Structure 1
Amino acid sequence: MDDNKVIIGGSLVESLKGNYQLSLRQIFEQAFNITKSNLTPLIGGFLVLLATAFLMVQALMNVFSVEEIMGSIKIQYISNILGSVLIAPLLGGLILMGIKHSVGIKTKVGDVFNGFNVMMPLIAVALVSTTLKLVAGQLLGLIHPNFMIIAQLYVTAILVLAMPLVIERGVGPLNALYYSIKIIHFKLPKFILLFLVMFGLLLLAFIPLGLGLIWVLPMICNLIGVVYREVIGVTVIEKPKKDSSSENISA
């Protein structure tokens, strides 16, 4: 590592051994406080992502009718995979913004496009993650419909650190997926609880005409950033003292 690079928070080497702590209460408190002072850029970033998703849906509707989409599992699977691939770079950019916020670095709306710097690795992670969720959900759904939700929750939880590892640490897609699975399984119950709380917050956010999403979606990005900082650690470049600007993440 260069002399001017330092790690803030956890350690990838130690986390791969299960040597990390995770306090859900502290994580949510920090994410809440961070969101209060970093709300605007993430809202702008999500608007870019939603606009992209809207254009994708419109393009899909021009090819297939609503009846065809609703009546074909194959079309639904293809659209889910295609959607995850198209928004992967933007989602990576949002996650990187949350990671930056976790170490006190300010961002701007344009930072949502930083994911395009590692577009192909992010797409690979999104493709594998979405496929695993669809396959696991379909197979366990044959046993009971509720098992589909459980399977998708489980896959989402164990792969949550994959994209951050790609976008912040530059880890390859397969290694990022493997590291995420290995690290999270050391404290799987806590991560499952984390995702259940996040899912509950999303449900509550929809109640007031979806207005709560203006706060909850940015908070979830910052929450992932805080978890990543605590478990993996964030690489920052120390600026010379004469430079008054903030530290920058090496991504």
Structure 2
Amino acid sequence: MQDSQPNKNENQVTKDDCFAAALRGEVPLRVGDVIQRSWDITLRALPIMLVALALMLVVNYVIGEITAVQFPVDENNPNLANVAWQTLIGMVIMAPFNALVQWLGILNARDVKPSFANFSHAFRSAPQVIGIQVVMTVLIMVASTVFFLIFGFSSVFLALVVVTAAYLQLSFTLAVPLVLDRGLRVQRAILASVMILSKRIFAMLGIYIVMFFILFISALPLLLGLIFTLPMTFNVIGVIYNRMIGLPSSEQPLPLATDDQGGV
């Protein structure tokens, strides 16, 4: 495996295999580079990413309606068990659809034209993707329980839960892409993601703070800007993955989709 730093030309795809170097903390991650690159590649894959996002929204709505009937929750006296079931079922079913849009973002960040042929690849990895989501959720629940036992329901408890959840969300960012792209097992993908991004956690925080403001501003004019910025958030994941991991040295750069596959 060849280790290398990302290309100096920040407007281009990182073509080297940087996985081992990233594990050693040798690969930089720049906020401005990620945001600029993510925006630059958004328009070219916008139609197919909007289709995938629309599919996510429809499935999420249907699942929400079904779980609301099967596990009703009274707003005045909520049943915590039913709330938990609604959340768990929604999380499990939506995880592969979230992975689908991430995969499209990864391909787009590689300068590969995403196509509908790529949809099946994400769904084939559904068990591993769900496993990653379950692990993260369990860790958050365990940490929350410990904080509650120590601090009770207080401002300190809430702050610690928010910080822990944010850290896990950021440090798990590469886990699903590593499963989709490198075929890693759940535990290896999680461990690699945490090892790599823990060394770049402040850059990750900066990226998502900037994205929060971009999403907020884009939502102001009748939410129309979200047509562009929601797909951009998944391109951000793709660019982060490409910058930190690069392309597998043992594979062709375009293993699953090429421009002649009839991409949208």
Superposition TM-score tier, normalisation by shorter sequence: 0.7 to 0.9
- Between the two proteins, what is the percent identity of the paired residues? 24
Conservation of the 8 A alpha-carbon contact between 2:23 and 2:195:
yes
Between 163-172 and 65-74, report the one with greater CA deviation.
65-74
What is the aligned partner in structure 2 of residue 213 from structure 1? 226
Q: 1:179 aligns with which of 192, 196, 212?
A: 192
User: Which one-letter code corresponds to 2:106 in the other structure?
Assistant: I
User: Which one-letter code corresponds to 2:193 in the other structure?
Assistant: S
What is the aligned partner in structure 1 of residue 95 from structure 2? 88
* CA distance in 2 between partners of 1:207 and 1:14 (Å): 41
Conservation of the 8 A alpha-carbon contact between 1:164 and 1:228:
yes
1:44 pairs with 2:59: no
Cα shift at 1:26: 1.0
Conservation of the 8 A alpha-carbon contact between 2:71 and 2:85:
no
1:77 pairs with 2:84: yes
What is the aligned partner in structure 1 of residue 33 from structure 2? 26
What is the aligned partner in structure 2 of residue 242 from structure 1? none
User: Which one-letter code corresponds to 1:89 in the other structure?
Assistant: P
What is the aligned partner in structure 2 of residue 168 from structure 1? 181
* CA distance in 1 between partners of 2:135 and 2:211 (Å): 22
* CA distance in 1 between partners of 2:77 and 2:112 (Å): 44
Conservation of the 8 A alpha-carbon contact between 1:81 and 1:130:
no
**Following superposition of structure 1 onto structure 2, how do residues 26-175 of structure 1 map, counting pairs within 5 Å?**
26-67=33-74, 71-109=78-116, 111-137=118-144, 139-140=146-147, 142=153, 143-175=156-188
Conservation of the 8 A alpha-carbon contact between 1:9 and 1:229:
no
Q: SS where residue 38 of structure 1 aligns?
A: helix
Count of aligned pairs between the two proteins = 238
Cα shift at 1:120: 1.1
1:174-204, Cα deviation, whole Å (9 max, x unpaired): 1001111111111211112222223333333
Between 215-224 and 123-132, report the one with greater CA deviation.
123-132
User: Which one-letter code corresponds to 1:187 in the other structure?
Assistant: R
Relative to the length of structure 1, the TM-score reads: 0.84
Cα shift at 1:69: 9.4
Cα shift at 1:90: 1.6
Conservation of the 8 A alpha-carbon contact between 1:10 and 1:230:
no
Cα shift at 1:109: 4.5
Question: Relative to 1, partners in 2 of residues 1:205 and 1:109: Cα closer, same or farther, differing over 3 Å?
Answer: farther
Relative to the length of structure 2, the TM-score reads: 0.80
Cα shift at 1:148: 2.9
* CA distance in 1 between partners of 2:210 and 2:230 (Å): 13
Conservation of the 8 A alpha-carbon contact between 2:247 and 2:253:
no
Q: SS where residue 171 of structure 1 aligns?
A: coil
User: Which one-letter code corresponds to 1:210 in the other structure?
Assistant: L
Conservation of the 8 A alpha-carbon contact between 1:69 and 1:75:
no
Conservation of the 8 A alpha-carbon contact between 1:43 and 1:218:
yes
Question: Relative to 1, partners in 2 of residues 1:129 and 1:180: Cα closer, same or farther, differing over 3 Å?
Answer: same
* CA distance in 1 between partners of 2:87 and 2:193 (Å): 22
